[in-house]
Chain A
Amino acid sequence: MNNQINLDNLTPGSKAVITGIKGASPFKKRLLEMGLVKGETMEKVKLAPLSDPAEYIVTGYHVTLRREEAKDVMVETMTNDEIRMTNQ
């Protein structure tokens, strides 16, 4: 039922759980340090006026990622039930 997608394909306004990050070590570590850790929930807020980058919420703060960077973040989309669970 659950869908594995890349973060850049997430529709704005929806949430997903991080399942892994691809890419070279320094970049990957940077994302980790900014809170993009396996198991965290990410919400895509919106795209910038010129369609790139995009704004996300992770561990309670807002962060920006370009499309090519979001491509390296694998997420699992959440069903409405699961979103309700995390909100509680």
Chain B
Amino acid sequence: MTNNQILKPRIFVKTSFNEPKKITIALAGNPNAGKTTIFNNLTGANQHVGNYGGVTVETKEGSLRFGEYLIQVVDLPGTYSLTAYSIEEIVARDFIIHEQPDVIVDIVDGSNLERNLYLTMQIRELGAPLVVALNMADEMKKKGISVDLDKMSQDLGAAVIPTVGTRKKGMKRLLDAIIEVVTGQRQKPDAPAIRYGEDIDAELDKIAQPITDFSEKLRREDAPLKQHLCLSTSPQWVALKLLENDKEVLRVLADGEARMLVQQQVEISRKHLTAIFGEEPEIVIAEQRYGYVRGICREVVSRTAEARMDLSARIDRVLTNRLLGLPIFAILMYLTFYLVFSVGEIPMGWIESGIGFVLQKIELLWPAGRAEFLQSLICEGVIAGVGNVIVFLPNIMLLFMAITLLEDTGYMARAAFIMDRLMKWVGLHGKSFIPMLTGFGCTVPAIMGTRVLDNRRDRLTTMMVLPLMSCGARFPIYALIIPAFFAERYRATAMYAIYLIGIALAIVVARLLRSTLFKGEASPFVMELPPYRIPTGRAILIHTWQRSRMYLRKAGTIILALSIVMWFLTSYPTMPPEKQQEYAAAELAEAQVGYSFAGRIGHAMEPALEPLGFDWKIGTALVGAFAAKEVFVAQLGIVYAIEDTDALDEGLTDADKSSALSSEEKSELATLRGHLQASYSPLVGFCIMLFCLIATPCMATVAVTRREAGGWRWALLQFGGLTAVAYVITLLVYQVGTVLQIGI
């Protein structure tokens, strides 16, 4: 490639020498075809996750320099087809149609040609410039499959490049082929990809006719290409999709007289063909397409060796074994959480001391008496607030790393297979299990993780109950309350109980939603069990990071802003000096908080909270909990006017593992617990945990739900619904507990 640059005479192509030519390529392919690996190979760390045009499916983007080209690479979501079955399919298709990438690179799993080429044929039908990467060439060899590359290239009308993504083989040749297409060295074939037989082809022509007329009229008017489907694709493709009863295409088809004509013709044609074949045209067309693909496979594939039972099948004999499957699954889940909570504590300690160190330094170096409000803002507002979130980063990254590992090896699909029966009973889908697991780390990426679900009802139901999976941020609340009110030997049980209550509630709520609001047939559980693979360390790091970023972004934006707001609300207005004199020194700090905005909000909430056993102080802390659950503890600390609230947090997040704490810090923590013990009964303590578990998902959750579910409606339903449930349940527990004299 460097040769190219050297040979180019500077004077003639000055611009191209200084400024690389920009081209865009899109990677398409089936899930598990090794698309992401090739994407990582091409772009390295030079990539970012972006959302495509308002829809909620991510397309990853990256770029690389190749010769005189700057290649923008877009990783489309993995799909089996390009119909409008799932959001992923619509996104992939829309990207190809509207963004018109210079080349589509279709990553094809060579060890599973038939199913993969089905998608290839659909890309061909779109008329997009195509290069096929025949991936997993090594596995093909192992399976004894050999392919006639020239013949295949001829049949598909596109270059076919063998690659081994996991070993970075064939990348250079792939890029060369892409450039060949861009520079026009390889002609785009004109002939339609597939003939569907006389009957269907005749109807296709009839439907395409008015569309062709319409598009010619548009061309004469110089209509913008991107706004009209029949211009950005072809009338033939639009006709085919309409005959396949594609609702999306029908929806975006331009208005006007052509639409009426076309719609009438489609109806007539569909009726006619259904009568001939005894089946809907889309079924016949899909079968024909498969038939064509099978034809290609027969021509180009030869099996040189007997297929033997592969390694994956042997692993699955154990991992999805009817007797061993569930216990192994349980052990793996236990290990995951063990890793997260015990190993995570070590780096957590480092971050805590780091934040403590910074705070100490600021205090030391700050010129005494100067701009005290600024010092307070920086220390108590910004650093303490964001620190509260960052401190959980190790836990969350470890959980995401474990999830990435389970997913990239292929076990997650097995987990969904094992759990599907249970999840179906709950009213969810086997695949809901993955976001549920993520939810124990942070609800925000979990809600984004619901994208794996095809069915919108499944997806919404999962989103609604996800906040009930006790996220990492709620842990410090439990860690504060439990030791304050429960005897040593009951503490572990209490912790399990609160997590289990969340899960049990999620089941009840999901079942309820599924039988009322989101009523409808369960979506089919047609899921591929991909072969087990050993993921590369780099891939794991990249994927873990991509998940963790969302959490960090939350810390950097929402939490930062809210910490400042909360700091302001609890610090202002300050009590006038003449009023301060009314209080004894010991009571002054508490009175000041009561006087502040936050305190006033707490007081205003008191009548509503009283039946739950809560007072205004808890109310004030609950306001903080809406900002972010972890703020609850810090806020309670402020309300109880404990001077060094930062040390308090550090103590709490460590859940009393005394090692890292100085005696002074421990006493701070003990002081807050002492205050709680003195003010509330164990019953109220339990009610606080219960309320924090169920109520008011944090702001970030509400925001992400609105975006993912596509409307405030769902975010408000989640917010209002869960808060109402929390209120009712806490009320019941408190009132019944009071009457029965339990824990008072």
User: Interface on A for B, CB 8 Å cutoff?
Assistant: 25-35, 37-38, 45-53, 55, 59-66, 69, 87
Closest A residue to B329 by CB, please name it: A49
Contact B526 A30 (CB under 8 A): yes
Tell me, yes or no, whether B290 is within 8 Å of chain A by CB. yes
Q: Within the complex, what minimum Cβ distance (angstroms) separates B112 from chain A?
A: 5
If A25-B245, A29-B282 touch, whether A59 touches B421 (CB-CB below 8 Å) is no
> Interface readout for B265-287 with A: 1 if CB under 8 Å, 0 if not?
00000000000000010110011
CB distance from A72 to the nearest CB of B (A): 9
Chain A residues within an 8 Å CB radius of B112: 59-61
Instruction: Kindly list chain B residues whose C-beta atoms are within 8 Å of the C-beta of A66.
Output: 420, 424, 524-525
Q: How far is it, in angstroms, between the C-alpha of A51 and the C-alpha of B425 when the chains are bound?
A: 13
- Closest chain-B Cβ to A6's Cβ sits at a distance in Å of 15
Complex Cα spacing A37 to B112, Å: 15
B80 touches A34 (CB 8 A): yes
**Residue B115 interfacial (CB < 8 Å):** yes
List which B113-133 residues lie within 8 A (CB) of chain A.
114-115, 118
Interchain CA distance A62-B80 in the complex, whole Å = 14
B291-323 vs A, CB cutoff 8 Å, 1 = contact: the mask equals 100100000000000100000110010001111
The reply to whether B283 and A30 contact each other, CB–CB distance below 8 Å, is: no
Shortest C-beta distance, A78 to chain B (Å), equals: 17
For residue A51, which residues in chain B have a CB less than 8 angstroms away from its CB?
Answer: 421
Could you say which residues of chain B place their CB within 8 Å of the CB of A52?
420-421, 424
Query: B111 contacts which chain A residues (CB < 8 A)?
Result: 60
Tell me the nearest residue of chain B to A34, going by C-beta.
B526
**Contact of B322 (CB < 8 Å), options: A38, A46, A62, A69:** A46
Interface presence of B83 (CB below 8 A)? yes
- Interface pairs A-B: 9 shortest CB-CB: A50-B421, A49-B325, A62-B529, A32-B286, A33-B81, A59-B114, A35-B115, A37-B290, A66-B525
Per the bound structure, the CA–CA distance linking A47 and B417 in Å amounts to 10
The interface residues of chain A lying within 8 Å CB-to-CB of B83 are 29, 33
B244 CB → nearest A CB, Å = 8
Q: Given the complex, which residues of B lie within 8 Å of A64, measured CB to CB?
A: 417, 420, 430, 525-529
B326 interfacial contact with A, CB 8 Å: yes
Q: Given A25-B283, A53-B421 in contact, is the A30-B114 Cβ separation under 8 Å?
A: no
CA distance A31 to B320 in the complex (A): 23
Docked CA distance A31–B525 (Å): 10
Q: Which residues of chain B come closer than 8 Å to A61, judged between CB atoms?
A: 112, 115, 528-530
User: Min CB distance, B338 to chain A, in Å?
Assistant: 23
Q: Evaluate contact between A69 and B525: CB separation under 8 angstroms.
A: yes
B118's contact among A31, A33, A55, by CB below 8 Å, is which? Answer: A33
Using CB atoms, name the residue of chain A closest to B527. Answer: A64
B64 proximal to A (CB < 8 A): no
Min CB–CB distance B566 → chain A (angstroms): 46
Judge whether B540 is part of the interface by a CB distance below 8 angstroms. Answer: no
* B417 x A48 contact (CB < 8 A): yes
The answer to whether A59 and B115 have CB atoms under 8 Å apart is yes
Q: Is there contact, CB below 8 Å, between B287 and A37?
A: yes
A65 x B526 contact (CB < 8 A): yes
Q: Answer whether residue B422 sits at the interface, using C-beta atoms and an 8 A cutoff.
A: yes
CB–CB B282/A49 < 8 A = no
Q: A26-B85, A48-B325 are in contact. List 10 more A-B contacts (CB 8 A).
A: A27-B524, A32-B286, A33-B118, A34-B528, A37-B290, A48-B320, A49-B418, A60-B112, A61-B115, A63-B526
| Least CB separation from A60: chain B residue | B112
State the CA gap A34–B306 with chains docked (Å).
Answer: 24
B456 to chain A, nearest CB (A): 13
* A69 contacts across to B, CB distance below 8 A: 524-526
* CB within 8 Å of A: which B188-213 residues: none
Whether the Cβ atoms of A35 and B524 lie closer than 8 Å is: no
Chain B: minimal CB distance from A82 (Å): 17
Contact A49 B322 (CB under 8 A): yes
14 sample A-B contacts, Cβ–Cβ < 8 Å, listed by A number: A25-B245, A29-B283, A31-B526, A33-B85, A37-B290, A37-B291, A46-B320, A48-B420, A49-B322, A50-B326, A51-B421, A53-B421, A55-B316, A61-B115
Query: Shortest beta-carbon distance, A65 to chain B, in Å?
Result: 6
Query: Whole-angstrom distance from the CB of B310 to the nearest CB of chain A?
Result: 10
